[in-house]
Structure 1
Amino acid sequence: MDLLIDYLKSFKLNRCCCLFSVRTGLLLIGYFNIIYDSMAIAAISEFLYSPIVQEVLDAITKEQMPFQNSIPIFCYITEFGFNVVLLCAVYRRDLHLLKIYLYGCFTILVTSILFYSVVIAGFDMLMEFVIVFSIILDVYVILLVRSEILEIKESQKNGGIPTLVMSSGMLDAQDPHDIKAQVDCKDKPSSEGRREQKTDNKK
Structure 2
Amino acid sequence: MLRWIDASPEMEEVPGPGNKPGGGMGYDYLDELVSGVFQFEEPGAEDVRREAEMVFYQPTPVRHIFNLMGLTALDETDVLVDLGSGLGHVPLLVSACTGAGGIGIELEASYAQRARECAQRLNLNKVTFLEEDARVADLSIGTVFYLYTPFVGSILSDVLKRLRREAATRRIRVCTYGPCTSVVAEERWLEAAAAPETDRIALFCSRD
Query: What is the TM-score when the length of structure 2 is the normalising length?
Result: 0.23
Q: TM-score, structure 1 length as denominator?
A: 0.23
Between 1 and 2, higher relative CO (CA 8 Å, sep ≥ 6) is seen in 1
Which protein is richer in strand relative to its size?
2
Q: Give 1 or 2 for the bigger CA radius of gyration.
A: 1
